[in-house]
Amino acid sequence: MAKQHISFSLNGEQIDALVEPRELLVHTLRETLNLTGTHIGCETSHCGVCTVDLNGVSVKSCTVLAMQAHEGEVTTVEGLANGELHAVQQAFIEEHGLQCGFCTPGMLMRAQRLLQENPDPSEEEIRWGMAGNLCRCTGYQNIIKAVQSAAKKLQQEA
């Protein structure tokens, strides 16, 4: 099938792209638009390393067609820092919330969204709110600490 023209906002910038109708958003981001911070771990919606924001909700970009982003708003890990690191980015460094870094972009994207949905989550709420993102390296404990510390910082700033 012929390629289709889509346009959407990506990290605050208006983007035009030609995509195959069957093309997955994660491939458009990584291959066509060269934003390789969003990773691929399973392509079956289980691992969450492909998590991005689409129209204000967390989605797994391996299970979204690029065409579904048409006229929408997408934020990836590359759009998180705004001059300086976002509170979740800083907190992951401070609390040793990452090791190999492969899950990290997805974790950060989910964490910043979770903190918008629930600015002051309990440990339990973090565990359930981030359960769609897997990590093989950290045992999660320091990620939870990082999310808690980012929450505190964001609340102080608010």
Partner 1 sequence: MATAEDRVKADIEREDALQGIGCSRKRKEDPRFVQGKGTYVDDVKLPGTLYADLVRSPFAHARIKGINKEKALALPGVHAVLTAEDLKPLNLHWMPTLAGDVQAVLADEKVHMQYQEVAVVIADDRYIAADAVDLVEVEYEALPVLVDPHKALDPDAPILREDAEDKDNVGQGPRKHPNHIFNWQVGDAEATERAFDEAEVTVKQEMYYPRVHPSPLETCGCVASFDKVNGKLDVYITSQAPHVVRTVVSMLSGVPESKVRIVSPDIGGGFGNKVGIYPGYVTAIVASIVIGRPVKWIEDRMEHLSTTAWARDYWMTGELAADKDGRIKGLKVDVLADHGAFNSHAQPTKWPAGFLSICTGSYDIPVAHVNVDGVYTNKSPGGVAYRCSFRVTEAVYVIERMMDVLAQKLGIDKAEIRRRNFVKPEQFPYETCLGWELDSGDYHTALDKVLAAVDYEGLRKEQAEKRAKGELMGIGLVTFTEVVGAGPSKNCDILGVGMFDSAEIRVHPTGSAIARMGTITQGQGHQTTYAQIIASELGIPSEEIQIEEGDTDTAPYGLGTYGSRSTPVGGAATAVAARKIRDKARKIAAHLMEVSEDDVEWDIDRFKVKGVPGQEKTMKEVAWAAYNNVPEGMEMGLEAVDYYDPPNFTYPFGTYLCVVDIDKYTGVVDIRRFYALDDCGTRINPMIIEGQVHGGLNEGFAVAMGQEMPYDEEGNLLGNTFMDYFIPTFVETPHWETDYTVTPSPHHPLGAKGVAESPHVGSIPCFTAAIVDALAHLDVTHVDMPHNAYRVWQTLHELGADKRD
Q: Does 100 bind ligand FES (CB under 6 A)?
A: yes
Interface with partner 1 (CB under 8 A), residue from 39, 60, 69, 87 = 39
User: Is 28 a binder of ligand FES (CB under 6 A)?
Assistant: no
Alpha helices in the chain (DSSP H): 25-27, 87-94, 104-117, 123-129, 141-157
The option from ligand FES, partner 1, none interacting with 73 (CB < 5 to 8 A, set by class) reads: none
State whether the Cα torsion 157-90-63-1 is positive or negative. positive
What are the tokens at 27?
A: 């491939």
- Considering only residues 57 to 86 of the shown chain, the ones binding ligand FES according to CB under 6 A are 60, 62
| Tokens (6 digits) for 75 | 């934020």
* N-term to C-term CA, the chain: 49
Half-sphere exposure (CA, 13 Å, Cβ side) for 120? 3
Which residue(s) pair with 10 in the sheet? 13, 74
CB nearer to partner 1: give 9 or 102: 102
The yes or no reply on residue 77 touching partner 1 (CB under 8 A) is: yes
Is 96 a binding residue for partner 1 by CB under 8 A? The answer is yes
Please identify, using beta-carbon distances, which residue of 41 and 72 lies nearer to ligand FES: 41
Contact set with partner 1 (CB under 8 A): 20, 22-23, 27, 30-31, 34-44, 46-47, 49, 76-78, 80-81, 85, 89, 92-94, 96, 98-105, 108, 126-128, 130-144
